[in-house]
Amino acid sequence: MTKKLLNQKRAERILERENIDGLVVTSPINFYYVTGYWGLYYTPLGFDACYFSVMPKDNSKAPGMVLPALEIRRLETMGKPWIDNIVSYSSKGDGELFDDDFPKGQDYKGWPIDQDASLNPLEEKWRSVTREFSGSYSENSIQALIRAIKGADLNGKSILIDDLRIEKWLSDEAGVNVDCIFRPDLFNEIRMVKTENEIEIMKEAAIINEQSMLAAIDFMADGTTWEQLENFYMSEMATRGGRGVYMMCGVGELPNGICKEGEPIMFDALGQYKRYHGDFGRCAVIGDPTQLHIERHQAILEGWEKAKEFLKPGSTYDQISQEVGNHIRSLGFDSFRNPVVHGLGLEHTDDPKSIGTQPGVKISQSLEKNMIINIDMPFTEIGWGSVHMEDTILITDDGFERLSTADFSLRSS
């Protein structure tokens, strides 16, 4: 069985506060969060609206999960989710109906089985699960979704959706009547406070990402291109069981196109492990740093010491950002901009976002126990170079725990 990622009690509280009876999701991130299962077709070339998950606010009712018939065997390989009510769909049937008058889809046969072969335990499970779902397929994904909605006792009630098309898809079908509420920010709000299973994954993500980026710094040499460094980082991530998203040195890339001795360079790496992000930053130089480089790096480290005073429940993003920025500027680093404080999780910036806001604009959040955030302190001065420090933080009962483990030294190669 896959691990349960969903913070169900928090979801129930937020749904209760908003007077919403349940939720229906189809986006890859939210489907994975609710079910713990990552679909086979969640790829750039995958099929649209293959998967849905339904969760009622009332935990005495049954949550549901919708997936295509050809993925039934994969449940045994990847691990069945914590949700028992799995509704699958195939294609148009011969007119036979379920008890609730919805048409049945064709039974899924799958690949043929060698009748003379001695099947191994997993192959036996594949045969068994195909038989288990016999006679239960819907004709398409929307009819399967309606069955899951009814199974969760949400017909005639209000549901939170993460895709506006869900409302249209359901309105085109007979036999279902729900009030759809599109509030993507509420999904971010639910995900802000992590479960123990999420924290366990994110600790691994932080270390894998950190080690891969530090290895890339060690690989840096005079004349190395950033593409070579990023490719090295991506390879290191894959070797350690993760997936790289990017490694950047600033918005404009390297000013000379290559790494040069004595140039202050920032490294900011974002990677994934089991779909959760690690986000880590440090600064480096080939050869010896200048006195100014040392002073600016030291000012950022003292800014981190100031941040630690506020890393506890009740502090806000804006408070941390302003306090740290003011402190660093007071040390003579006049042009330093306030750092960015952001949530981290299934999204890089996993905080509630209002629809239509500019990139990077978000509502300041109050810290709560088991939130995971990043303190992001980049600085670039064109004509000089860059410094940076970024760490991932778990908020505890009365303080914090670093998920990163590396020291804060100015790296050299």
Structural contact between residues 284 and 413, judged by C-beta atoms closer than 8 angstroms: yes
Same-domain pairing of 213 and 312: yes
- The whole-angstrom separation of Cα 6 and Cα 247 is 29
Same-domain pairing of 31 and 116: yes
Kindly report, residue by residue over 278-311, the tens digit of the pLDDT: 999 999 999 999 999 999 999 999 999 999 999 9
269 forms beta bridges with: 247, 280
Same-domain pairing of 149 and 277: no
> Last residue of a domain, which of 175, 191, 207?
191
Question: Helix, strand, or coil here: 380?
Answer: strand
Domain count within the chain = 2
- 3 falls within a domain: no
For residue 243, give its domain range.
196-412
Same-domain pairing of 180 and 276: no
Return mean pLDDT, the chain.
Answer: 94
Contacts of 260 (CB under 8 A, 6+ apart): 222, 223, 286
Half-sphere exposure of 342 (CA within 13 A, CB side): 25
- 300 falls within a domain: yes
- 1 falls within a domain: no
pLDDT of 135 reads 93
Position 358 pLDDT exceeds 80: no
Same-domain pairing of 220 and 360: yes
Position 234 pLDDT exceeds 90: yes
pTM: 0.94
Task: Tell me which DSSP letter residue 5 carries.
Answer: -
Query: By C-alpha distance, which of 386, 377, 268 is closest to 329?
Result: 377
Contacts of 97 (CB under 8 A, 6+ apart): 103, 104
> Last residue of a domain, which of 142, 174, 191?
191
- 275 falls within a domain: yes
Position 34 pLDDT exceeds 90: yes
Same-domain pairing of 279 and 183: no
Length of the chain: 413
Kindly report, residue by residue over 151-170, the tens digit of the pLDDT: 999 999 999 999 999 999 99
Half-sphere exposure of 323 (CA within 13 A, CB side): 17
Same-domain pairing of 138 and 205: no
pLDDT of 1 reads 78
> Last residue of a domain, which of 173, 191, 209?
191
CATH number for position 127: 3.40.350.10
- 266 falls within a domain: yes
Position 361 pLDDT exceeds 80: no
pLDDT of 65 reads 97
Compute CA 66 distance to the chain's CA centroid, rounded to the nearest angstrom: 21
- The whole-angstrom separation of Cα 353 and Cα 355 is 6
Strand locations in 38-128 (E) = 52-56, 64-68, 85-89
pLDDT of 359 reads 67
